[in-house]
């Protein structure tokens, strides 16, 4: 009887192992698309237009920078800002003189990229942005899924007049909170157009989405990865103005970044919209991707005391 059982076990192992087939997926390289990362603002710091080539799907190496391009931004008053790739790595930079910043509110700007005889352009305006009224930090006791500690809240009021859009960026001890769920964008004082929240204080979810989110793995939330603010921590919050097409771009990008949580039946990711235009492009030419936006910025920093 023991020999019979051993034979059955061996047969099962053979059958199961014989069902394993190694499948090599041979994906096409895809179009050699240019990716434009051009989010410019009026902070007193170096501004960067990043140009890279899209990498193949299974290539884990950083996307190669595009060198040898001519990059400039011109405003409606004729002022030209030349961006130079000093390190030959695809980062084209412009640095303001001491005491100056990039651009003027309400001016319109055109990005122009010349590369290998091709011309790429895009247009954006530096729109208005509200001032930050205050940042508060409140100590909260431990509760389900939330450790005890200090939690921050932003108070700012949308500017009167419908159609303003903003990107609220938070830095904890100088580190940018950049998880997909921490992407904090607002249309007027709410989430979407038509919400009828013009000219009022940002709604509560936007005000409180300035705290770090917990890490998650295999669908589980790791509460230990959610350190709240502690005494001595710094909280810096910036409000960046957005052109409406940039707001919708970020909305699409956030959906794409969270598709992995939707399971195997989720829609496959696709390129999000872009405002980069290739002039006189042949019909079969690979289209550029990425985005160009000019922001005015208001900011406030607070230390937890």
User: What's the confidence (pLDDT) of residue 247?
Assistant: 97
pLDDT at residue 7, rounded to an integer:
43
Rounded to the nearest 5 degrees, what angle is found at the Cα of 294, between the Cα atoms of 54 and 199?
125
Q: Report pLDDT for 4.
A: 46
pLDDT at position 264 is 46
pLDDT at position 286 is 80
Which residues of the chain are under the pLDDT cut of 70? 1-31, 56-61, 215-226, 259-270
Residues 47 and 78 reside in one and the same domain: yes
Q: Is residue 8 part of a domain?
A: no
- Tally of domains in the chain: 2
| 256 vs 262: CA distance, rounded Å | 10
**Together in a domain, 84 and 102:** yes
Task: Report pLDDT for 112.
Answer: 98
Residues 61, 44, single domain; the answer is: yes
pLDDT digits (tens, 9 = 90+) for 213-254: 876 655 555 555 567 899 999 999 999 999 999 999 999 998
Question: Do 266 and 117 fall within a single domain?
Answer: yes
Q: Which domain covers residue 284, as residue numbers?
A: 34-127+261-296
List pLDDT tens digits, range 145-191. 778 899 999 999 999 999 999 999 999 999 999 988 899 999 999 99
What DSSP letter does each residue of 244-297 carry, written as one string?
HHHHHHHHHHHHHHTGGGG-TTSPPP-PPP---EETT--TTSPPPEEEEEEE-E
**pTM given for the model:** 0.84
- 240, 142: one domain: yes
Q: Do residue 84 and residue 158 come from a single domain?
A: no
pLDDT at 59: 57
Q: Residue 223 domain-assigned? A: yes
Claim to verify: residue 266 and residue 119 sit in the same structural domain: yes
Domain presence at residue 18: no
Same domain for 239 and 150: yes
pLDDT of residue 6: 45
CB distance 216 to 260 below 8 Å: no
Under 8 Å between Cβ of 167 and 209: no
């Amino acid at each position: 009887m023991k020999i019979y059982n051993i034979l059955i076990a061996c047969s099962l192992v053979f059958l199961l192992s014989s069902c394993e087939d190694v499948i090599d997926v041979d994906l096409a390289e895809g179009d050699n698309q240019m990716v434009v990362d051009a989010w410019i603002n009026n902070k007193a710091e170096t501004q960067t237009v990043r140009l890279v080539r899209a990498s193949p799907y299974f290539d884990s190496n950083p996307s190669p920078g595009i060198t040898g391009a001519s990059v400039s931004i011109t405003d409606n008053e004729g002022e030209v800002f030349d961006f130079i790739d000093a390190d030959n790595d695809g980062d084209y930079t412009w640095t303001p003189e001491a005491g100056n910043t990039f651009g003027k509110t309400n001016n319109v700007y055109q990005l122009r990229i010349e590369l290998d005889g091709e011309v790429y352009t895009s247009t954006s305006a530096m729109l208005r942005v509200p001032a930050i009224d205050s940042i508060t930090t409140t100590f909260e006791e431990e509760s389900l899924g939330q450790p005890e500690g200090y939690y921050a809240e932003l108070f700012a009021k949308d500017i009167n007049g419908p159609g303003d859009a903003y990107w609220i960026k938070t830095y904890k001890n100088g580190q940018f909170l950049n998880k997909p769920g921490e992407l904090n964008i607002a249309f007027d004082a709410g989430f979407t157009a038509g919400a009828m929240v013009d000219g009022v204080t940002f709604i509560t979810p936007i005000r409180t989405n300035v705290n770090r989110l917990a890490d998650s793995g295999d669908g589980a939330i790791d509460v230990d990865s959610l350190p709240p603010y502690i005494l001595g921590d710094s909280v810096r919050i910036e409000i960046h103005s957005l052109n409406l097409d940039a707001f919708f771009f970020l909305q699409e990008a956030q959906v794409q970044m969270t598709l992995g949580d939707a399971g195997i039946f989720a829609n496959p990711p696709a390129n999000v919209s872009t405002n980069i235009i290739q002039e006189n492009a042949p019909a079969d030419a690979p289209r550029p991707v990425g985005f160009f936006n000019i922001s005015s910025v208001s900011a406030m920093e607070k230390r937890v005391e």
